[in-house]
Amino acid sequence: MKKSIAFRYSHSLLLLIAFTSCNKFVDVGVPANKITTDVTFNNDADATAAVTGIYSQFASTTSLCSGGVTVYTGLVSDELQYVNNDPDTKEFQANAISSNNPTIQIAFWQRAYQYIYQTNACLEGIAASQLLSSAVKNQLSGECKVVRSFLYFNLVQLFGDVPLVTTTDYRASSGIPRTAAHLVYSQVIEDLNSAKQLLKEDYPSANAVRPNLFTAKALLARVYLCLNNWAAAELESGAVIDAKKYSLVTDLNKVFLMNSTEAIWQIMSYGNINTLEGNSFVTFSSRTIPPYQLTEQLWQAFEPGDPRQVSWTSTRTLNGKNYTFPFKYKIPARPNNTISEYYTMFRLAEQYLIRSEARIMQGKIADGIADLNIVRARARGTDVAVLPDRPASVSQHQAIAYLQQERRIELFTEWGNRWYDLKRAKLATITLKPLKIGWQDTDTLFPIPSGEIILNPHLTQNNGYN
């Protein structure tokens, strides 16, 4: 059971991929090291259940695909501070993460590769099946490629070089070393371009809970931004914006609702909560100190009167002390067994900011500032006294400063955007060293889990963790 990433999860996979939206299992009844196309992928309904079952896991466990990236990158950057006593979580805030940290090993690494194995298995099963309709085959294959791309994008952002596994054959992936980051990105881009050919503009589900064509484009825009491919980032984000399928929600308190017109991809909630992120930040009891609070640096970064500071943060006063926490997701539980919030993976405002940066970096200053001002205009609403438009006649350097400020505020505590932005702009050390005792330049990458190195001696450790 220790031969490879894929093989280690094969037994649980057979149960998990068959997990349907109504929490029932499909009896696959096959050996634990493979999936047979004649059972799991013998009709459109079962194949769809296999793929959509992956999303239910995203919503029910802390991982790269739930609130995990937001919380822990918020701690290692300058967004969040942790006030409880869990030593493993404190390691993130101190940027002193040990290689045996259970969050790193289980929530991030193991679950990511578990999901990757599931998408690989689904892709193989879908491709081999002769019984699926062509429309369902294309849709499910496209969804799997979006999911796999999303996982690898975050893995490479957090860890750097990571093993690139695209098969369920444990013999092929046994002892696989870390793959160079640029090759992982190449696979991500290849998958997303393929997904663009397979997916339709319309969603195959109610609301935006399964990827469509624009989900692939939105993720591709994010990837190109991180690779400084400005022209491609502008093209993909522009395609999402210009489709006019999405619109910015004017009420800031409704941006993250399940029926948000801004949402490009959301994860449906399961269990007794609305979202894991809301559950982590808001807490069930109003008499409880919120464990994750906004840093003073983030609080002071808001411009005076910014409505986002009012709508997207909240303050709880206990024993005469104020505790301010993220409040984009406002409901920690599921009152009366109802759901109103879905976890938003991609939304339109980010696409405006991606296109803004891409345009500015290509010297299209006025066009980039125009995109940025669209996001500011939504934020200020009818209060014209706050968040005035940024001037278009500025230097590229000043325009980028405006853009970085807007991304920091609009996208705070969302999907590691602040952490990823600091790294790609090479501002991590300048920004964080004054705030973090013992900060090292190598802290921009997480450690490879020591347990994985024991299982696979071909894995190497990141610098700074040996």
DSSP string, 405-419: HHHHHHTTTSTTHHH
For residue 55, tell me if it sits in a domain: yes
- Confidence band (pLDDT; 50, 70, 90) for 40? confident
Contacts of 344 (CB under 8 A, 6+ apart): 255, 256, 260, 262, 263, 265, 266, 414
Contacts of 36 (CB under 8 A, 6+ apart): 28, 30, 125
Q: Which domain holds residue 49?
A: 1-199
For residue 264, tell me if it sits in a domain: no
Question: Residue 337: its pLDDT value, please?
Answer: 67
Residue whose token pair is 């496209």: 142
The strand pairing partners of 323, in sequence order, are 316
Contact 322, 395 (CB under 8 A): no
Is this prediction's pTM over 0.85?
Answer: yes
Question: Domain total for the chain?
Answer: 1
For residue 398, tell me if it sits in a domain: no
Reported as a single tens digit per residue, the pLDDT across 321-365 is 999 999 999 987 766 667 889 999 999 999 999 999 999 999 999
Question: Residue 336: its pLDDT value, please?
Answer: 65
Residue whose token pair is 């993909």: 236
Lowest-pLDDT range of 1-5, 65-69, 79-83, 131-135:
1-5
- Confidence band (pLDDT; 50, 70, 90) for 277? confident
Lowest-pLDDT range of 251-260, 283-292, 319-328:
283-292
Q: Where are the beta strands (DSSP E) in 63-110?
A: 80-82
Tell me: pLDDT of 15 over 60.
Answer: no
Rounded distance between C-alpha atoms, residue 24 and residue 52, angstroms: 12
Rounded distance between C-alpha atoms, residue 237 and residue 221, angstroms: 5
Question: Residue 61: its pLDDT value, please?
Answer: 76
Question: Residue 213: its pLDDT value, please?
Answer: 98
Tell me: pLDDT of 260 over 50.
Answer: yes
Tell me: pLDDT of 68 over 90.
Answer: no
Tell me: pLDDT of 26 over 70.
Answer: no
Which one has a higher pLDDT value, 27 or 219?
Answer: 219
Tell me: pLDDT of 41 over 50.
Answer: yes
What is the pLDDT averaged over residues 170-194? 92
Contact 318, 286 (CB under 8 A): no
395 exposed, middle or buried (CB, 10 Å; 0-12, 13-18, 19+)? exposed
Lowest-pLDDT range of 157-171, 323-337, 367-381:
323-337
Tell me: pLDDT of 32 over 70.
Answer: no
Residue 347: strand, helix, or coil:
strand
What is the pLDDT averaged over residues 79-100? 96
- Confidence band (pLDDT; 50, 70, 90) for 17? very low
* CATH number, residue 49: 1.25.40.890
Lowest-pLDDT range of 4-18, 44-58, 222-236, 408-422:
4-18
Return the H-helix or E-strand segment holding 156.
helix 134-159
Residue whose token pair is 């501070």: 81
Rounded distance between C-alpha atoms, residue 274 and residue 287, angstroms: 20
- Confidence band (pLDDT; 50, 70, 90) for 35? very low
Tell me: pLDDT of 18 over 60.
Answer: no
For residue 23, tell me if it sits in a domain: yes
From the list 369, 339, 342, the residue with the least C-alpha distance to 353 is: 369
Question: Residue 21: its pLDDT value, please?
Answer: 31
Question: Residue 283: its pLDDT value, please?
Answer: 75
Contact 178, 221 (CB under 8 A): no
Tell me: pLDDT of 218 over 90.
Answer: yes
Question: Residue 413: its pLDDT value, please?
Answer: 97
Tell me: pLDDT of 384 over 90.
Answer: no
Rounded distance between C-alpha atoms, residue 62 and residue 229, angstroms: 31
Tell me: pLDDT of 112 over 80.
Answer: yes
From the list 150, 145, 179, the residue with the least C-alpha distance to 5 is: 179
Contact 390, 259 (CB under 8 A): no
Phi, psi of 152 (to 5 degrees): -70, -35
What is the pLDDT averaged over residues 272-284? 80
Tell me: pLDDT of 11 over 60.
Answer: no
For residue 414, tell me if it sits in a domain: no
What's the token pair of residue 200? Answer: 């339709």
Tell me: pLDDT of 445 over 50.
Answer: yes
From the list 231, 206, 170, the residue with the least C-alpha distance to 359 is: 231
Rounded distance between C-alpha atoms, residue 376 and residue 397, angstroms: 19
Question: What is the rounded average pLDDT for all residues in the chain?
Answer: 89
What is the pLDDT averaged over residues 263-285? 82
For residue 118, tell me if it sits in a domain: yes
For residue 302, tell me if it sits in a domain: no
For residue 25, tell me if it sits in a domain: yes
Contact 406, 418 (CB under 8 A): no
Alpha-carbon distances of 453 from 5, 340, 447, 457, 461, rounded to whole Å: 11, 42, 11, 5, 8
Contacts of 182 (CB under 8 A, 6+ apart): none
